């Protein structure tokens, strides 16, 4: 007797697209903005949580109080600072030690405003104002008075946040006029290093290609009213 083999045909499964779970898994997360986006996730996570809070989005309105251990300038630096008073004081025109200061930070339409207020003896004050802006091309730019612009490189090293200038230019009505390196203050290097109990150290060094260090200042600050 012949054996009849029964063959069962299974219809191919139709691709119904990703399941809800897959859709969630494949959904692209929004790209981080601000300093986080410029650094990338790995470098951002290498910063202490308090630094991520200070430089995160949205920008927090806060006053940081403390003092500069030292504010110094070379002879060339003093001349540059004196001349720069004509365009809105982008660098402090005085020097000293143990200078009380307040750093006012807050959101503005174009980015984050940073205003350093130096309190000299006899009630005299000096303010240096700038705004950190992420440009249309994704680059970080420090906007200074009188249309002076300073593109910045930003990176994290051993938990310290670094900002280094990449030249200078004046911008008027979308027209950019580069400033020759020999005519500029020099390369500006700012370090933001976290310290214990809510304190952080702000250090700025400006080095001219011909005259060497022209400005240096370093100090410790923490948020006003911080009980730590």
Query: What pTM did the predictor assign?
Result: 0.84
User: 75 lies in which domain range?
Assistant: 50-221
| Residue 138 domain flag | yes
Q: How far apart are CA 228 and CA 42, in angstroms?
A: 29
DSSP state string for 2-50: PPPPP----PPPP-----HHHHHHHPPPPPP-HHHHHH-HHHHHTS-HH
| Residue 40 domain flag | no
Q: How many domains does the chain have?
A: 1
Per-residue confidence in pLDDT tens, the chain, 228 aa:
444 444 444 445 555 555 555 554 556 666 677 899 999 999 999 999 999 999 999 999 999 999 999 999 999 999 999 999 888 888 899 999 999 999 999 999 888 999 999 999 888 899 999 999 998 888 999 999 999 999 999 999 999 999 999 999 999 988 999 999 998 999 999 999 999 899 999 999 999 999 999 999 999 999 998 765
Look at the chain and count its residues. Answer: 228
Q: What is the CATH number of the domain that holds 166?
A: 2.40.128
């Amino acid at each position: 007797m012949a054996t009849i083999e029964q063959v069962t045909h299974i219809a191919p499964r139709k691709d119904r697209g990703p399941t809800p779970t897959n859709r969630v898994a494949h959904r692209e997360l929004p790209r981080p903005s601000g300093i986080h986006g410029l650094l990338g996730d790995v470098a951002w996570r290498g910063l202490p949580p308090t630094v991520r809070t200070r430089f995160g989005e949205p920008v927090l309105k806060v006053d940081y109080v403390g003092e500069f251990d030292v504010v110094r300038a070379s002879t060339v630096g003093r001349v540059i600072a004196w001349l720069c008073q004509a365009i809105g004081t982008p660098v402090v025109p005085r020097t000293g030690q143990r200078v009380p200061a307040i750093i006012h930070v807050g959101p503005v339409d174009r980015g984050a405003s940073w205003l350093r207020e130096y309190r000299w003896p006899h009630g005299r004050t000096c303010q240096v104002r700038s705004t950190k802006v992420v440009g249309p091309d994704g680059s970080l730019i420090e906007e200074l008075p009188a249309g002076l612009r300073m593109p910045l490189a930003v990176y994290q090293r051993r938990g310290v946040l670094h900002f280094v200038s990449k030249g200078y230019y004046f911008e008027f009505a979308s027209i950019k006029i580069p400033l020759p390196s020999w005519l500029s203050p020099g390369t500006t290097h700012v370090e933001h290093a976290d310290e214990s109990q809510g304190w952080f150290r702000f250090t700025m060094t400006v080095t001219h290609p011909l005259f060497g260090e022209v400005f240096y200042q370093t100090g410790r600050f923490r948020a006003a009213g911080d009980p730590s």
